[in-house]
Amino acid sequence: MSDLNRVRTRFAPSPTGFMHIGNLRTALYAYLFAKQNKGDFILRIEDTDLERFVPGAIDVIYNTLKDAKMEISEGPNEGGNYGPYVQTERKDIYMKYALELVEKGAAYYCFCDKERLDSLVNKDGVKRYDKHCLHLTKEEVQERLNRGDKYVIRQNMPTEGVSSFEDLVFGHVEVPNSELEDQILIKSDGLPTYNFANVIDDHLMKISHVMRGNEYLSSTPKYNLLYDAFGWERPQYIHLTPIMKDATRKLSKRYGDANFEDFIEKGYLPEAIINYIALLGWSPKGEQEKFSMDELIEKFSISGLSKSSSIFDEAKMSWLNGEYIKELDFDTFMKKATPYFEKSSIKDRYDYSKFGKLLQSRIEKFSDIIEKVEFIDDFKEITKDQYFNKKFKIDENVALIVLEHTVPMLEKIEFTEDNLHAVILKASEDLELKSGAVYTVLRIALTSYNVTPGGSVEMADILGKTESINRLNKAISWLK
């Protein structure tokens, strides 16, 4: 298939820091659509806003896409037939095309200084350029260029009529040309604005489908006028609704909301994050919520994209992440869990794998481990009403009887799970109690907690014989 007929999508982030969830979703949809159509997914770095450039941010972009398992077809590191794939390395390309527009009358030099621009405020308090420099003669323009006056190059917008286009999500969109300001194409530093560079790059890189946020819907007619001025075919547009923090506020990179690295640090799995954000703005057919990347590629559809914004629900993502954690093989689970055990209160003091067996099905993200293990050292005096349990007809007197009968038996055995179960069953038989009652008495006595991630046998196994016997004897003394 030639590039002219091939689906080619691009992800074009600015290297300004971490990977915001909204940006990652745009990348994901572009990736899914390209792969579903056996096309290409291109990474392009839009770094012309030098003031916002953050060193190391390109590495963050690459690491995020790698963790998310999005394979890049062409990009700064991968190369390709349409590079360079970093905008600051394409400066001469943009100037060439800007000058071509000037020759066509579709753009013009503007020499207005800041003072004049600041004065261009209409009755509504809105700044809007008034085409002042469009009326300079060629001789006047050349004279000012010869003497080195600072300039920008502006697009010459039509003032009458309507510009329209078809969006694959929003359908027919039209904007009166009178609303289109003569935007800057080339800045005074010689670098292009986003509004110009994205058009030049998308055309030269043969991008077939442009995916971006719907805040660009009203700007797209400006871009189309550029395509038309050059006589180029327009790409197809897919504008995406925003991801919201709540009913009124968008998730915002500027205010430190939701970014990929923070979620990884909290102990979310990359595949769970990707699965969840795929569902923020796209509705698959059927009830399925958990998707592998291959399933997302197979099932993704433009027709399933929403025209309404989505609210980011971290609780829902946590639930989904928990489902992924449950399905990990135990060795993989422990490899990912160990850094969180190392940050917890049990660091270097207990067998992590014993806790891991209890917690794998009980956590939604790995950072939950830190809180989930705190109980083991929070051993405090047991109150008598802790033992009131209607289900097993336990009170403090029954609890004391169970402990005084069971502790001597425990002192005689090696602490293995089989031996511990055997003692508990023998004690319940001796005392004519349900085994659940004995298990409950011992669990509370061992931990001072009514609810723990595991029963008395698991707690005794984790604590070991010496500590377990000490705690049981303390419980006896408290109950007396």
Give the strand order in the sheet containing 107-110: 107-110, 152-155, 184-186
Asked if residues 74 and 11 have their Cβ atoms less than 8 Å apart, the reply is: no
Give the integer Cα–Cα distance in Å for 20 and 26: 10
Other beta carbons within 10 angstroms of residue 242's beta carbon come to 19
Asked if residues 400 and 480 have their Cβ atoms less than 8 Å apart, the reply is: yes
Give the integer Cα–Cα distance in Å for 186 and 192: 4
> Which stretches does DSSP call E strand in 221-344?
236-240, 243-244, 310-311
Q: Are strands 184-186 and 171-176 parallel, antiparallel or unpaired?
A: unpaired
Amino acid identity for residue 257 in this structure: D
376-414 burial by CB neighbour count: b if 16+ within 10 A, else e?
beebeebeeebbebeebebebebbbbbbebbbeebeeee
The alpha helices in 417-464, defined as continuous H runs, are: 417-431, 435-447, 456-463
**CA-wise closest residue to 309 among 289, 281, 285:** 281
Other beta carbons within 10 angstroms of residue 180's beta carbon come to 18
Give the integer Cα–Cα distance in Å for 450 and 461: 18
291-324 burial by CB neighbour count: b if 16+ within 10 A, else e?
bebeebbebbeeeebeeebbebeeeebbebbbeb
Catalytic-labelled residue, pool 35, 206, 250, 253: 253
Active site residue 253: yes
DSSP 26: H
Give the integer Cα–Cα distance in Å for 38 and 344: 46
Provide the annotated active-site residues.
253
